[in-house]
Structure 1
Amino acid sequence: MNTAVKTRKIIRNKKVSSSSAKPEQKKNENPGSKNGGRKAAARKNTEKTGFSMSRRISVSYTHMLIDTFLSCLILILIVYIAYNLVALGIDAKEITDSLMMSDDLSEVLLDIALQKDTEIALFDSTGETLVNTFRDFSRPHSRVPIWFYSRDGSVFIMIKSYISLSGRIYEMNIFRNITGTLVEMLVIFGFSAVLYCIVTIMLFFRGKSITRNVLNPIAEMTRMTREITAQNLNLRLNVTNAKDELKELVVTFNEMMDRIETAYNKQNQFVSDASHELRTPISVIQGYTRMLERWGKDDPEVLAEAIEAIGKETDNMKELVEKLLFIARNDKDTLALNKEKFSLSDMMEELIKETRMVNRQHIIEDSIEKDIEIIGDRNLIKQAMRIFTDNAQKYTEPGKKIEIGLKKEENRAIMSVKDSGCGIDSKDIHNIFDRFYRADQSRDRNKGGHGLGLSIARIIILRHGGKIHVKSKLGEGSTFSVILTIDQDVQKGISEDQDNS
């Protein structure tokens, strides 16, 4: 008995486990089919959108045609009624003139009614009927001057007027039969409506086809846009089938993709170069750490060498990270400048003095013009100029000359650093301010640095609204000139101080 119960429990547990495993299997199957499902849904949405747009455009044009047709019908009807009213008014004037020249009102009105194919009813001021050719018509109580009547299946338009004869006022109602004209108009309108419906249906489907052809480039643009990913940013939209505004849109989109691709490639290159720069000191630190584990405890020389090397590499990494943070702050537009009025002449003399103290291998010549003041971040401008002087020392052979100068031209301060080193090739001169760029593609680390100095110097100078001019000749040396604008207020203050002295 117990065995049977256990067996049933085991079978039940197997069913439960197998049923619970199915959803897991479905979950595992879903990720693989998600992308295909999403693409299919995207295609359906695109088709629906394209159909909806073409239908809306066609319907809009159809509505516009219907409105135009109805407006024309109403306008024709108004013109026709106005024409009849004018004709009746002319008849009323002619009848009045004829009545004024005759004493027999009845005879004159009957003759005119026969000639004009109109009906006339004349009443005196008391409402008594004097003449009435319009059968079964009685004087209306309404004072409306224009009215429509129907009799024996015919439609008449009536105009009411008042005439004065021999000092008496008479009410005259003139009727014109417009049945035939209305029938003709209805036939013409009916034929026009049928023809219009046929033309409208043809235009609807033809317009729908034309609209779809016009929207095909947009569908192609949508399809191509969905295919663009980080792995194929080089894809561009085809402009051959696009025309007018669509072509302009495609060209603008391709230009945007050019900028995105350039920025993305620069970002990738930046990350790759930063990783490369960080990998070297990390590898050195790892090597000396392993050496310390083996021999550092027993060999004081190995211990001292490892500590010194690790210290240098950590300083190198710290410097690199600080440079990267500086560039990142500039990219995020959070780089703060502590601007103040300071003497650029004093700063350059200070820089030259410090350079001579640490460098006795080169001939440092200076030409500093006095009393040049600007408004800016003194520390950052000095940092930028130190980058130029450090590069001049790195690439100039010992015993050769380095010239550092400062002069004023109009409202500009021009700082320059000229070396007599190896120079820069013309093909590299436009790229030297790029991050991690080095003219030596072998990226020789013997001269030190990370390839970020000139990029940082450029950021600093541009942040101050300045310019950098580079003049270089391979094998002869390079000249870096920094141009900063002197603030007008500062320039005025300097002139006043000189006048007072």
Structure 2
Amino acid sequence: MLSIAKKLSISKKLTLIYSSILMAILLVFTLFTFVLIRSFMIKDSQSILSSNADSISNYIETNGTINKLDSLNLSQDINYIIYDDNKNIIFSNTEKVIPSFDRHQNKRFRGKDAFERKGGAMSTSRSLNVNGKNYYIYVTRNFEDIGDRAGDIAEILITIGILGMIVSLISGFFLSRKLLQPIKDITRTAKEITSKSLDKRIVLNGAKDELNDLADTFNLMIERLQIDFEKQKRFVSDASHELRTPLAVISGHVNLLNRWGKNDVEQLDKSLKTLKNETESMNRLIENLLYLAKGDNDVLSINKEELKLSSLLRDVVDETKLSYENVEISYHSDKDIVLKADYSKLKQVIRILIDNSIKFSKDPVKIIIAAFEKDDEIHISVIDNGIGIPKESLSKIFDRFYRVDESRTKATGGTGLGLSIAKQIVEGHDGRISARSNLGEGTEINIILPMLSE
């Protein structure tokens, strides 16, 4: 049975379950109805017997005789016999044979309103003493008619039950197909989706049920896959483009040297310097790509420890002043802020932001680093007086290989990955990074990190 059940589709399983439950309900209802009707018919027959037996007893007690007893208005299907102490029949309205009795042993004549079914009949009895004379009244009613009617009712109920089962099977089949349609849509859409058709979505029916939630979740999953896939395609394309340029330069100089440049000392020196610079540029690019790949695969190592933010900023500022004499850089903090972070990686983020400020600023370069606490968070702002960023580019500057000005970035030796790395490190610290800028008015990069838990 289990092996057969495993081979059935969900719709067939639901149909069987639904139909089985409905069949069980119909069966119980049919049995209950039959028992209830039969019980009602028995009680009705008992009530008729009691009423007629009481009428006969009351007549004898009232009149003191059995004369004209046949004038009583009794039920037509009632038969009765009256015995005396000697078991002689002293009155009867029927010629049918009625079972004999023992008035001393039979409970029917002990004043109890008891009923007995025997020989296709239901009976009850009464005993009374009138004027010193005992009367034993035995009243019967045909029970076969009741059985026949109960049988007819049973046949009707069984027919209704069978029809109900058939209807339940058919309705269960169509109902299960209707309920499972979203799953079929999901299956069909999933089969149709390829790398070239990630824009396909399941059409939602608007119902607020679990299957609609499943379809909505599936659509969200495909949307995320589409975004990630497009990012990956763009990343691979941009990486290929970035590597193609230095490789083309290297190939050109190698061909030049191979043809005639190796005999020209000046050209040889120039080509070697170019080859060295392009190789270093490729190394930086590859290192940055590997760094970002580690973050994408959740293997980027971030070793958090308690540190004083002012000490970190002081180190970065001092190093910048030693490297760039024409850069005016300062920092200030509301108080001595302590946070939990990876010292070297957070320092790397600040350096990336400072390097960008220097690359895209005109002399004299002015950079201010501010650190403060606000709304239970730590804020670090790097503000410069550079050329600024167009508003339409602000939402893209953290994307990999994105450049606001391609020619200017190339001239400064950038790879377009610095801000992407900074964003990845900040998010690895459960933080956020954003930018504010206007063309010609400088740029402000804001980092928000969680405070140290007490």
Interval of TM-score (by shorter of Structure 1 and Structure 2): 0.7 to 0.9
1:440, CA displacement in angstroms? Answer: 2.8
Distance in 1 between residues matched to 2:281 and 2:126, nearest whole Å? 113
1:456 match:
421
Distance in 1 between residues matched to 2:153 and 2:345, nearest whole Å? 88
Letter in 2 for 1:479: E
Distance in 2 between residues matched to 1:373 and 1:210, nearest whole Å? 63
Q: Aligned runs of 1:388-403 on 2, under 5 Å?
A: 388-403=353-368
Q: For 2:315, which of 334, 350, 356 is the aligned residue?
A: 350
1:423 match:
388
Distance in 1 between residues matched to 2:195 and 2:127, nearest whole Å? 92
1:434 match:
399
Letter in 2 for 1:75: F
- 1:459-500: CA deviations, max 9, x gaps? 2222223333422111211111223343254xxxxxxxxxxx
Contact 1:389 1:417 in 2 (8 A): yes
2:133 match:
none
1:229 match:
194
Q: For 1:313, which of 257, 275, 278 is the aligned residue?
A: 278
How has the CA–CA distance of structure 1 residues 366 and 178 changed in structure 2, closer, same or farther, with 3 Å as cutoff? same
Letter in 2 for 1:80: I
Distance in 1 between residues matched to 2:258 and 2:23, nearest whole Å? 93
Q: As a proportion of its length, which structure holds more helix?
A: 1
Q: For 1:267, which of 232, 248, 260 is the aligned residue?
A: 232
Contact 1:295 1:302 in 2 (8 A): no
Distance in 2 between residues matched to 1:377 and 1:305, nearest whole Å? 41
1:176, CA displacement in angstroms? Answer: 4.1
How has the CA–CA distance of structure 1 residues 481 and 205 changed in structure 2, closer, same or farther, with 3 Å as cutoff? closer
In structure 2, runs of 5+ residues without a counterpart are: 1-6, 108-113, 130-135
Q: For 1:375, which of 330, 333, 340 is the aligned residue?
A: 340
Contact 1:411 1:487 in 2 (8 A): no
Distance in 2 between residues matched to 1:148 and 1:182, nearest whole Å? 12
Deviates more, 1:54-63 or 1:181-190: 54-63
Q: Aligned runs of 1:316-327 on 2, under 5 Å?
A: 316-327=281-292
1:327, CA displacement in angstroms? Answer: 1.9
> Is 1:83–2:48 an aligned residue pair?
no
**Matched residue SS, 1:401:** strand
- 1:3-58: CA deviations, max 9, x gaps? xxxxxxxxxxxxxxxxxxxxxxxxxxxxxxxxxxxxxxxxxxxxx98xx6665555
1:71 match:
28
1:59, CA displacement in angstroms? Answer: 5.3
Q: Aligned runs of 1:58-457 on 2, under 5 Å?
A: 62-87=19-44, 91=49, 115=74, 117=77, 135=97, 137=99, 149-150=118-119, 155-157=120-122, 176-191=141-156, 193-194=158-159, 197=162, 201=166, 205=170, 208=173, 212=177, 218-239=183-204, 245=209, 247-295=212-260, 298-368=263-333, 371-409=336-374, 412-440=377-405, 444-457=409-422
- 1:301-321: CA deviations, max 9, x gaps? 444444433333333222222
- 1:106-133: CA deviations, max 9, x gaps? 979x98999464568999xxxx989899
In structure 1, runs of 5+ residues without a counterpart are: 1-47, 166-170, 490-501
How has the CA–CA distance of structure 1 residues 342 and 243 changed in structure 2, closer, same or farther, with 3 Å as cutoff? closer
Contact 2:22 2:168 in 1 (8 A): no
**Matched residue SS, 2:393:** coil
Distance in 2 between residues matched to 1:381 and 1:486, nearest whole Å? 15
Contact 2:53 2:139 in 1 (8 A): no
Distance in 1 between residues matched to 2:273 and 2:71, nearest whole Å? 132
Number of positions where the alignment pairs a residue of Structure 1 with one of Structure 2: 426
How has the CA–CA distance of structure 1 residues 158 and 467 changed in structure 2, closer, same or farther, with 3 Å as cutoff? farther
**Matched residue SS, 2:387:** coil
